[in-house]
Structure 1
Amino acid sequence: MQSVTSNDQDSLAMTAPGSLRVIKRTGDVAPYSSDKIAVAMRKAFIAVEGSEADASSRIRDFVEEAAEQITEAFQRRMPDGGTVHIEDIQDQVELALMRAGEQKVARAYVLYREEHARMRAAMDNGISKPHPSIRVTQPDGSQRPLDLGRIETIVAEACEGLANVDSKRIVDDSLKNLYDGVPIQGVSTALMMTARTLVEKEPNYTYVTARLLMDNLRSEALSFLEVAENATYHEMREFYPQAFKAYIARGVEYEQLDPRLAEFDLERLGAALNPEGDQQFSYLGLQTLYDRYFIHRDGVRYELPQVMFMRVAMGLSLNEDDREARAIEFYQLLSHFDYMASTPTLFNAGTVRSQLSSCYLTTVPDDLDGIYTAIRDNAMLSKWAGGLGNDWTPVRALGSYIKGTNGKSQGVVPFLKVVNDTAVAVNQGGKRKGAVCAYLETWHLDVEEFLELRKNTGDDRRRTHDMNTANWVPDLFMERVFKDEEWTLFSPSDCADLHDLYGHEFREAYERYEVKTRNGEIKLFKRVKAQDLWRKMLSMLFETGHPWITFKDPCNLRSPQQHIGVVHSSNLCTEITLNTSKDEIAVCNLGSINLSRHIVNGELDAEKLKQTVKTAVRMLDNVIDINYYAVEQARNSNLKHRPVGLGIMGFQDALYQQGIAYASDEAVTFADHSMELISYHAIEASSDLAAERGCYETFEGSLWSQGVLPLDSIERLREARGSEFIEVDTSSTQDWDHLRHKVTTQGMRNSNVMAIAPTATISNICGVSQSIEPTYQNLYVKSNLSGEFTVVNPFMVADLKEAGLWDEVMVNDLKYYDGSLQPIERVPEYLKARYATAFEVEPKWLVDAASRRQKWLDQAQSLNLYIQGVSGKKLDVTYRMAWYRGLKTTYYLRALGATSVEKSTVNRSSLNAVGNSSAPEAAPSAAPAPQKSAPRGVDEFLQNPQAAGRRAPTAAELDELGCEACQ
């Protein structure tokens, strides 16, 4: 009955004989008309039988006669005239059709009346365009018509401003997946699933999907806050300030937000909220926030994205003189994705438990009470979302004499098993798995067993499958590797001072202890060939992914704080290099500049970068005073030295925006230039803060106080090693003399200022490539705790479109070739070079770029190394080069061996997840790739490294759970 409209029905209530009148549904009264009855009935026949019914004399005679009979019936009922309700007239029409045997027409007419009755009721309930046949089941079990009008509105808003997206297609395809009685959540799911399936063909659909998710979040949060229900994006200009005030009140009432937030000028801050910021999220970014970051109560998220960013900004402004102005300044930086604070800061800023720091570094003493105190500290720090780095070198080795019991030590390994299980048990407040990395120096007698901690074979009581491990390698060991000399392993109980020595002092002491082993003064030791131990280090790194290789001497010789302590380890992600001792737990507070947001018209915007860095350093410095400290040694260290770690992310995106290939001299130059600018402005910002707020307590005597900046400290490393063991570019472009003068005159607010963290999660939030990483694949499924997400390189898609190469065939080819353009013949070479993936970039380019950055950093960088077609020689050359080029640390080895990634299915709209790794840190996946058993011996590894069965890490593995803890 689609041809019969409500106007046709209401037209039955016109011109009437005598004094008959009709009451319409609106309550209005109109004259009666039998002619209109006939017209409405004729349209009913046309709707069922088609247009030929209009020409049928039989139907024409029938409807005229029926209309007269219905009129006569009403006149007999009311001979003196009166009023007839429109529903009574329609009842008579149905009866006339049934009596005449026109059941099909009558049935259609009945259904039509019911349908429009529901639609009228829906419209009365605020449903703008009720769907004629689909009802939605509400949480209370009641049903309402599907509001097609609202769906069309939110989908149209979701597609606003995006090229090559089709709102009608999303609506139409979603309706095909809905049914009468569908739960209300099912409607949202259908819309998002429809948009998600289109991401692989058009990257902009990730923003469409995010905006559809945003509609869910608005409904959830606004309803909970009792501000509005079902507000659309364009209505949030009005509702965001209201929601913000309600949110602060609720959060304080529930004892989740710091009561001091209620003392801010909420009207001013609410007016500063930018609803347009909600439109810039990718689906992965917003889903990550929804799943893990937004504050909730009883499972209901009542924090909206812009409210979250303002909450963080307020939390970091609590001690500022003009809190509102600073909060708005900080909010602008966060909400525009110019800079992003680390995960703990996003979690906890502005809450009642403001644990904002990212990383904690500890030294474990060589006594039982101290060991278990350190493990207890691990638990307390991990509880509040901190990543941990433990220095275990002081603990005596297996077989060492224990004076108190007249027995022998079991060494380091049994304690590391306890540390491992503690990290699993204390899972960061239920938000994420606890994460810790144990460091051991290469001269420690337990180092060989330490290398095997992550193996899947052997005594499981001496394995740590959940924690990370790292070698803390002295320069002297590397020199002996180069010279093919012997290396001696000691127990620290016999040579405790080696732990605190580096450079020439370490060499002299170490050689004295070697003499003692030869004259019998030291009996517990082991002599090995340095190259054999090196090969075993590389073999285990290849086979298990651990221990990572980090370098003790450059971390100390270039440390600004060498006057008051020693760097004994790095942190969970190898970018922090701070002093530790039994009295001090080093703390670092992280945040990252989004480089891609500072590329304007294909060039780095130096002025914008300067302003971003200045504000970011202030935010990081504020963390130190506001922070909650779970243990006193951490408070003592952080307030005394005030270290922060400003890093970067979106490096690969910035290259794309400039049309630069990662494997190129231009990329290395950009790494150098961009890091120099960040270093210059970060040091300047910290110095200016010192002028405003005072220097950190231990400034005097530091390299800063001597006018020795990170670039200058390279010479100290060169002097200690000798020029034959280092090659580092030391060119510069900025006026460093001016900055040296400022630093020596004004001082520094922070002992350390820069460190490049992995940014695995916060880069997802901002929708950019993580940290300094090359693109993993151009098309793949990314898996993390929030689910699986199709990721396609939008820059590549744009360039392929421009070249007329983006089509269904290209999508399927990319799936088949694991996101690589290299095997696809029709792709031009310049695009293959620009969009080379991580394993297609030779590791020399990664090391070269890292070396250029390292000269500007007072701390280190989380540097993953990707090696395809790996061999023992290639590993050897790569890691020797990393040391030779002055790097302080390296992080994960991503090695591609014989077993390749599982192919994605090419005839489905959603990609399969690639196969999972055997590595214990990897997140679970549905279909692990087949693997071969690992080799036993170093020689076998060197001869046939592919036998280990290592292969490319999956997309899931790139989101290391450990990485999240410290960025």
Structure 2
Amino acid sequence: ARETLAGVLSAKANLKAANTHNSASSPSRHLARAASSTVGRHKSITKTSAAPVSALQGVKVMRVLLAALAATAGARPPAPLKWRGGSVAPRPPPPPPKTLKPPNEDTTTPLERQLLEKVRVYARGLDAYVKPEKVVKKALAGAAALDYATVEQTLAENAAYAATEHPDYGRLAARLAVDRLHATTSSSFKETLLTLDDEPNPTTGEPCHILDAGFRAALENDKYFVAQVEGAISDERDFDGFDYFGYKTLEKSYLLRHRGGVHGNGIAERPQHLLMRVALGIHRGWESSEQLERALETYDLMSRGHFIHASPTLFHAGLKRAHLSSCFLLGSTDDSIEGIYKALGECARISKAAGGIGLSVADVRAAGSKIKGTGGESNGLVPMLRVFDATARYVDQGGGKRPGAFAAYVEPWHADIFDVLDLKKNHGKEERRARDLFYGLWVPDLFMRRVRDDAEWALMCPDECPGLTDAIGNAFDNLYETYEAQGKFKRKVKARKLWRAILDAQMETGTPYMLYKDACNKKSNQQHLGPIKCSNLCCEIVEFANNDEIAVCNLASLVLPRFVKNNEVDLEGLKQTAKVVATNLDATIDHGTYPNAAAERSNLRHRPIGIGVQGLADLYALLRLPFDSEEAQKLNVDIFEAIYVGALEASIELAKKHGPHDSYAGSPASRGELQPDLWGLDAKELDAKSRWDWAQLRADLARYGLRNSLLTAPMPTASTAQIMGCNECFEPYTSNLYARRVKAGEFVVANRHLVKDLCELGLWDENLRRDLLRAQGSVQGLAIPDDLKALYKTAWELSQKSLLDLSAGRGPFVDQSQSLNCFIAAPDYGKLTTFHFRGWEAGLKTGMYYLRTRPAADAIQFTLEASAPGAAAAAPTTIDDGRGGHVEACVSCSG
């Protein structure tokens, strides 16, 4: 007892002395020391005695502890300290000790537990880097009110903001967003569409009746049809089929919405309902078991992410106004008031139906040329194009989905060419600009030879030198040189002067596009129809059009990473899926609605389709193939050969059933010449090297013909690749970090393949993430293995020669063309000239879609979090998505 009392007194003395010296130590710490001193003195009992400490001894210890606590609580505050003759107020007593909680006690609130339970359910199967607790805490911290409904609405976007840490946060965000959609929409496909069809028009009060009448009748009356359709829909695929940004793209532009009234303007359609609507809209005639089977097969493949149709088909399939086609080409604009305004009206009607437009203006007379009817002089191309420019702004694509988009093509011999090159520039007189149009050059080989040889180039008026737009190859050379010799040109310039003007425009605006007139015509299966005078808005469609026919194309894209199985590409599965897609696109020709008779006439006569791809970069990442490797080049050829063979097989089978397309006779295919033959590949060598039976294919072609004049056209896939969570078309990644803008804000996400690789190596942490942000998405300067640096080179770090080689490698299996971009961070005349001439010499049809550059001041700013180590001193980190500031994606061609 004496020892115990002495210990307590000693503790009190220590505590008082500490307070006298203005110690910051808390009473709880002194109490702990007293307890330690007391118990320490009793340890000898437990150590030396075999018997345990008695109850009486325990009570004594507790009394001592309580006495120490009382002494601490009752201590008087120390007297003010004297300092240089003044007095200083004492520090306030320290706060009372915190209540210690058992280590396993749950400290979360009921609301937090409820939210955590939900997020944990949707985080199942995701990477361990995904922390549900983090998402919930951020949602609670930023909520306007702490109730379940308010906070639950923000869970998805808070998960999306964490996508820079790990891409699986984006998948979690998508699942949470889909959960909210499913909570507010019907699970019944029939109920959803009939409700939408019956909703009153807000203006007239009459039912909207947006559905195709036959489709509505089947939903109302055919119980077998409805049972088969409802039974096939897999709602659970909504939760794993999209990442957050893919889902938000669907939500913004693709899913059908209510039209006010009791439902407001909310979304009515689920993603699986959209895909089923598209499948049934393509394969009409559901009373036929074969057609219904095709529709359900199409739904299943799209639902599992193997392919997707182009945006206009997603917008309109199954509806009363089924505008399913993507691209429209006006072959030439007549050089008269009637012809020009006829073309303008056609463009307006096409744009209203969500179509992208390409038109040739090379036949319109140049400025200063005589007008026979009035005796005056023509104003040339610029004033006319300004009228088309205004129409593109006025008539948008499909009622507000995006502004209209027209691409005007001109040949470089046209006397107004220098003025056309200035039209999209940001400086200069406003009355000489038409910035909302896109411009393309239809370049004859003769011009490229003149530039190469540093020769002169004559500029001519098509009214004074007729026939140049109709002439191809040697015929063009002879006619042009005849006019040149006769002095029928407006003026002569050095070819390189015009070339530099072209490059100046491209470096400033990203355009004009470059397409090679002779390659486009000589390698076309439509060459027998007449001269092809232009491409479309995205440079992948090369089709014949004239005054009586407006060329049309229907598009879809295969999602390449879905065909990676057991670390290799399932080429057979890819070919079979290409057959399904070709059959679908052929059906859209018959079941679509057309903006005018000229477009319908052309599409039914020639039946061209365009199959493209998306996610080639994702496929290479999954297979560990650097984009510029020899293995990637070989696989690139194998992939596009499989797609072309599948499309050919499907078209031959359709021809066997329905007959070849009306203009088949006289085409290269009717002579046994397919795209590899038009590229000059040796047929026997192809047969020997290929895994496919080309000999049998040619035999079937000779017997049955082709249902479709054209088959493959790799398009940009800007919107649909975002829906499917892939990199665009056949392009490399432009960055390993991407900014995505949605209604909730702007989000930065990392390349999921890169993050997965770094996680497996144990390298992905906050420091590396911040280094990647500072490096603007480049891994070349990061402390990671060299093989990952090679695998994740961006488009800016790859040799453009490798991209041209890939494009040329797939060329013999692309019977239309391909939307090939050029990526040069800081372009100059030398780099750009080298790129163009390599593409031309390789025989490409499209030499360049856009020139992508890196802006001097990057467009997207992302500031590191202030709470992160070192962030206070860090400058704002800017991230560029690599597209340059002047380029917009074409929704219509997104296949």
Would the alpha carbon gap of residues 527 and 327 (structure 1) be closer, same or farther in structure 2, given more than 3 Å must change? same
Would the alpha carbon gap of residues 691 and 412 (structure 1) be closer, same or farther in structure 2, given more than 3 Å must change? same
Query: 2:734–2:795: 8 Å Cα contact kept in structure 1?
Result: yes
2:205 alignment partner in structure 1: none
Would the alpha carbon gap of residues 641 and 888 (structure 1) be closer, same or farther in structure 2, given more than 3 Å must change? same
Q: Give the Å deviation of 1:514.
A: 1.0
Query: 2:409–2:442: 8 Å Cα contact kept in structure 1?
Result: yes
For 2:180 and 2:672, locate their aligned partners in 1 and report how far apart those are by CA, in whole Å. 55
Structure 2: segments with no counterpart, 5+ residues: 1-61, 67-107, 200-208, 220-224, 869-875
For 1:882 and 1:605, locate their aligned partners in 2 and report how far apart those are by CA, in whole Å. 30
For 2:433 and 2:530, locate their aligned partners in 1 and report how far apart those are by CA, in whole Å. 32
Identity over aligned pairs, percent = 38
Aligned length: 755
Counterpart residue identity of residue 465, structure 1: R
Query: 1:780–1:955: 8 Å Cα contact kept in structure 2?
Result: no
For 1:676 and 1:460, locate their aligned partners in 2 and report how far apart those are by CA, in whole Å. 48
Q: Give the Å deviation of 1:883.
A: 0.7
Please show how residues 187-226 of structure 1 align to structure 2 within 5 Å. 187-222=151-186
Please show how residues 625-704 of structure 1 align to structure 2 within 5 Å. 625-704=590-669
For 1:784 and 1:643, locate their aligned partners in 2 and report how far apart those are by CA, in whole Å. 35
For 1:588 and 1:310, locate their aligned partners in 2 and report how far apart those are by CA, in whole Å. 22
Q: Give the Å deviation of 1:683.
A: 1.2
For 1:746 and 1:419, locate their aligned partners in 2 and report how far apart those are by CA, in whole Å. 43
Is residue 481 of structure 1 aligned with residue 481 of structure 2?
no
1:530 alignment partner in structure 2: 495
Deviations 1:780-809 (A, max 9, x none): 313378853322111101111222211100
Please show how residues 429-468 of structure 1 align to structure 2 within 5 Å. 429-468=399-438
1:876 alignment partner in structure 2: 833
2:80 alignment partner in structure 1: none
Query: 1:342–1:762: 8 Å Cα contact kept in structure 2?
Result: yes
Q: TM-score, normalised by structure 1?
A: 0.75
Which of the residues 486, 509, 523 maps onto 1:516?
486
Q: Give the Å deviation of 1:676.
A: 0.9
For 2:494 and 2:653, locate their aligned partners in 1 and report how far apart those are by CA, in whole Å. 51
Q: Give the Å deviation of 1:830.
A: 1.0
1:250 alignment partner in structure 2: 195
1:419 alignment partner in structure 2: 388
Query: 2:738–2:748: 8 Å Cα contact kept in structure 1?
Result: yes
Q: Give the Å deviation of 1:928.
A: 14
Is residue 600 of structure 1 aligned with residue 561 of structure 2?
no
Please show how residues 118-137 of structure 1 align to structure 2 within 5 Å. none
2:741 alignment partner in structure 1: 783
For 1:348 and 1:496, locate their aligned partners in 2 and report how far apart those are by CA, in whole Å. 42
Deviations 1:72-102 (A, max 9, x none): xxxxxxxxxxxxxxxxxxxxxxxxxxxxxxx
For 2:171 and 2:358, locate their aligned partners in 1 and report how far apart those are by CA, in whole Å. 37
1:174 alignment partner in structure 2: 139
2:100 alignment partner in structure 1: none
Query: 1:815–1:903: 8 Å Cα contact kept in structure 2?
Result: no
Is residue 285 of structure 1 aligned with residue 275 of structure 2?
no
Q: Give the Å deviation of 1:898.
A: 5.5
Q: Give the Å deviation of 1:842.
A: 1.2
Deviations 1:167-212 (A, max 9, x none): 343334423333546694x323421232122211111110100111
CA RMSD of aligned residues (A): 2.7
For 1:956 and 1:486, locate their aligned partners in 2 and report how far apart those are by CA, in whole Å. 34
Deviations 1:383-431 (A, max 9, x none): 1111110111111111111111111111111111111111111112111
Query: 1:342–1:966: 8 Å Cα contact kept in structure 2?
Result: yes
Counterpart residue identity of residue 552, structure 2: V
Is residue 565 of structure 1 aligned with residue 534 of structure 2?
no
For 2:419 and 2:885, locate their aligned partners in 1 and report how far apart those are by CA, in whole Å. 25
Query: 1:435–1:965: 8 Å Cα contact kept in structure 2?
Result: no
2:6 alignment partner in structure 1: none
Which of the residues 540, 546, 551 maps onto 1:581?
546
Q: Give the Å deviation of 1:374.
A: 0.7
Query: 1:676–1:856: 8 Å Cα contact kept in structure 2?
Result: yes
Which of the residues 333, 338, 347 maps onto 2:301?
333
Q: Give the Å deviation of 1:812.
A: 0.3
Q: Give the Å deviation of 1:715.
A: 3.2
1:368 alignment partner in structure 2: 337
Q: Give the Å deviation of 1:663.
A: 1.9
Structure 1: segments with no counterpart, 5+ residues: 1-51, 57-130, 134-145, 223-239, 718-727, 911-926, 930-950
Task: Tell me whether 599-608 or 641-650 shows the greater mean CA deviation.
Answer: 599-608
* Runs of 4+ off more than 4 Å: 179-183, 728-733, 784-787, 897-903, 951-959, 963-966
1:139 alignment partner in structure 2: none
Deviations 1:859-889 (A, max 9, x none): 0000111013432111110111011111111
Query: 2:624–2:791: 8 Å Cα contact kept in structure 1?
Result: yes
Query: 1:387–1:435: 8 Å Cα contact kept in structure 2?
Result: yes
Secondary structure, counterpart of 2:409 in structure 1: strand
For 1:432 and 1:708, locate their aligned partners in 2 and report how far apart those are by CA, in whole Å. 40
For 2:730 and 2:718, locate their aligned partners in 1 and report how far apart those are by CA, in whole Å. 11
1:266 alignment partner in structure 2: 226
For 2:351 and 2:312, locate their aligned partners in 1 and report how far apart those are by CA, in whole Å. 11
Query: 1:660–1:667: 8 Å Cα contact kept in structure 2?
Result: yes
Deviations 1:673-701 (A, max 9, x none): 11111111111111111112221100010
Would the alpha carbon gap of residues 430 and 331 (structure 1) be closer, same or farther in structure 2, given more than 3 Å must change? same
1:159 alignment partner in structure 2: 123
Q: Give the Å deviation of 1:220.
A: 2.7
For 2:688 and 2:863, locate their aligned partners in 1 and report how far apart those are by CA, in whole Å. 49
Query: 2:853–2:882: 8 Å Cα contact kept in structure 1?
Result: no
For 1:909 and 1:155, locate their aligned partners in 2 and report how far apart those are by CA, in whole Å. 24
For 1:443 and 1:781, locate their aligned partners in 2 and report how far apart those are by CA, in whole Å. 41
Q: Give the Å deviation of 1:251.
A: 3.0
For 1:389 and 1:699, locate their aligned partners in 2 and report how far apart those are by CA, in whole Å. 24
2:83 alignment partner in structure 1: none
Would the alpha carbon gap of residues 290 and 751 (structure 1) be closer, same or farther in structure 2, given more than 3 Å must change? same
Query: 1:894–1:953: 8 Å Cα contact kept in structure 2?
Result: no
Q: Give the Å deviation of 1:590.
A: 0.5
Q: Give the Å deviation of 1:828.
A: 1.5
Query: 1:420–1:465: 8 Å Cα contact kept in structure 2?
Result: yes
Counterpart residue identity of residue 309, structure 1: L
Task: Tell me whether 198-207 or 244-253 shows the greater mean CA deviation.
Answer: 244-253
1:895 alignment partner in structure 2: 853
Q: Give the Å deviation of 1:965.
A: 5.0
Counterpart residue identity of residue 243, structure 2: S
Secondary structure, counterpart of 1:698 in structure 2: coil
Query: 2:739–2:881: 8 Å Cα contact kept in structure 1?
Result: no
Query: 1:278–1:306: 8 Å Cα contact kept in structure 2?
Result: yes
Deviations 1:433-484 (A, max 9, x none): 1111110011111111111111111121121111111111001111111222
Please show how residues 33-72 of structure 1 align to structure 2 within 5 Å. none
Please show how residues 493-504 of structure 1 align to structure 2 within 5 Å. 493-504=463-474
Which of the residues 247, 271, 275 maps onto 2:235?
275
Would the alpha carbon gap of residues 956 and 301 (structure 1) be closer, same or farther in structure 2, given more than 3 Å must change? farther
Would the alpha carbon gap of residues 716 and 651 (structure 1) be closer, same or farther in structure 2, given more than 3 Å must change? closer
For 2:677 and 2:230, locate their aligned partners in 1 and report how far apart those are by CA, in whole Å. 46
For 2:689 and 2:854, locate their aligned partners in 1 and report how far apart those are by CA, in whole Å. 35
Would the alpha carbon gap of residues 405 and 909 (structure 1) be closer, same or farther in structure 2, given more than 3 Å must change? farther
Query: 2:737–2:881: 8 Å Cα contact kept in structure 1?
Result: no
For 2:496 and 2:586, locate their aligned partners in 1 and report how far apart those are by CA, in whole Å. 44
Task: Tell me whether 318-327 or 697-706 shows the greater mean CA deviation.
Answer: 318-327
Secondary structure, counterpart of 2:699 in structure 1: helix
For 1:370 and 1:170, locate their aligned partners in 2 and report how far apart those are by CA, in whole Å. 61
Would the alpha carbon gap of residues 425 and 821 (structure 1) be closer, same or farther in structure 2, given more than 3 Å must change? same
